[in-house]
Amino acid sequence: MGTFDLPWIRKLAAAASLNDENRRKLYGYVVAAGYAVGRDEAASVLELPRSSVSFHLDRMVDDGLLQVEFRKSPGRSGPGSGRPSKLYCPVVDEIGVSFPERHYDLAGHIMAAALKRAGDGAPVAAALQEVAAAKGSELGRPDDFPGVLRDLGYQPVSDTSGGYRLLNCPFHRLSQDHREVVCAMNGAFLAGAARASGLSADVVVPVPDHGPGHCCARITSLNQDS
């Protein structure tokens, strides 16, 4: 899972969870291990009380940093050896937080894929729009385009026309120096997400003077395609 898959509030909670020194040590150990780690192993290696390790690991599960899996340990014997062990592994291998929410990793993914396609002979501008639209289609959800916009950090706000203004640009810094390229990518991305959500791509329209930090597009309506 990439970092852009987590809403920014969950990212903040995850980052706040690592404010505790022992929790940071535990998280670093689990990430570096490369396999699902048990409480006893972590307590032994880090020389921490098992009860403390158990608390911190479960807290990181609640905060979205780790996930749990249960597996029988082949080397165990004796009473209780048949019960599956509770093991922990990372949900993501890094936590990035920004406010307002930005998704430069998503932009980088789209641009890298577009450059690869252009290297195979496609025009660069066309490749960028095709890849952006395809990525938007992957992230769209039927009948929930506003939810998609919120999860991606656009901060949609209803306007009097029945559509939405987008108060945040997830690609803000990039758009400052490369506005034409980034805004074209963003428009194609939003159009792809709109289509996958059951709307016409025409609901995404450019905003020539969108204001500092605001998105270069707005959503005209949420009428479903006929």
Predicted pLDDT at 219: 94
Whether residue 199 is found in the same domain as residue 154: yes
Instruction: Please tell me whether residue 105 adopts helix, strand or coil conformation.
Output: helix
pTM of the model: 0.59
Q: What integer is the mean pLDDT of 101-126? A: 86
Query: Tell me: the pLDDT tens digits for 134-148?
Result: 999 999 999 999 999
The better pLDDT of the pair 131, 98 is held by: 131
Same domain flag for 83 and 54: yes
Cβ(188)–Cβ(129) below 8 Å? yes
Same domain, 79 and 108: no
- Domain co-membership, 111 together with 79: no
Q: How confident is the model at residue 159 (pLDDT cuts 50, 70, 90)?
A: confident
**15 located within any domain:** yes
Contact 4, 106 (CB under 8 A): yes
**Is the CB of residue 140 less than 8 Å from the CB of residue 225?**
no
**Is residue 121 a part of any domain in this protein?**
yes
Band of pLDDT at residue 63, cut at 50, 70 and 90? confident
**Listed residues 21, 55, 90: the one ending a domain:** 90
Top mean-pLDDT range of 71-85, 168-182, 192-206: 192-206
What's the pLDDT tens digit per position in 117-127?
888 788 899 99
Q: In what order do the strands lie in the sheet with 37-38?
A: 37-38, 85-90, 66-71
Q: Which residue has the higher pLDDT, 98 or 29?
A: 29
Q: Domain check: are 115 and 204 in the same one?
A: yes
DSSP per residue, 177-209: H-HHHHHHHHHHHHHHHHHHTTS-GGGEEE-TT
Residues 153, 170 contacting (CB under 8 angstroms): yes
Q: Is 184 in contact with 129 (CB distance < 8 Å)?
A: yes
Residue 110, in any domain of the structure: yes
The arithmetic mean of pLDDT across residues 106-129, rounded, is 89
Given a cut of 50, is residue 94 above it in pLDDT?
A: yes
Check pLDDT > 50 for residue 2.
no
Q: For residue range 178-202, what is the model confidence (pLDDT) as tens digits?
A: 999 999 999 999 999 999 999 999 9
Q: Between these two residues, 131 and 78, which has the higher pLDDT value?
A: 131
Task: Verify that 172 and 214 share a domain, yes or no.
Answer: yes
Please tell me whether residues 109 and 215 are part of one structural domain. Answer: yes
Question: Using CA atoms, how far apart are residues 33 and 37, in angstroms rounded to an integer?
Answer: 7
Query: How many angstroms separate the first and last alpha carbons of the chain?
Result: 34
What is the number of domains present in the chain? 2
| 81 and 111 inside one domain | no
Top-confidence residue, 139 or 7: 139
Domain end residue (candidates: 90, 125, 144): 90
- Provide the 8-state DSSP code for 224: P
Cβ atoms within 10 Å, residue 36: 19
Give pLDDT, residue 13. 64
Which residue has better confidence, 86 or 83?
86
Give the whole-number percent of the chain exceeding pLDDT 90: 41
Domain membership of residue 97 (yes or no) is no
Q: Are 109 and 202 in the same domain?
A: yes
Element housing 170 (H / E): none
Domain, as residue range, for 54? 3-90
Q: What is the DSSP code string of 55-106?
A: HHHHHHHHTTSEEEEEE--TT--STTTTSPEEEEEES-S-----SS---HHH
- Whether residue 33 lies inside any domain: the answer is yes
Spatial CA neighbour of 60 closest among 5, 98, 22, 103: 22
**Is the domain of 116 the same as that of 20?**
no
Q: Identify the residue whose tokens are 């987590």.
A: 6
* CATH of residue 62: 1.10.10.10
Residue 226 lies in a domain: no
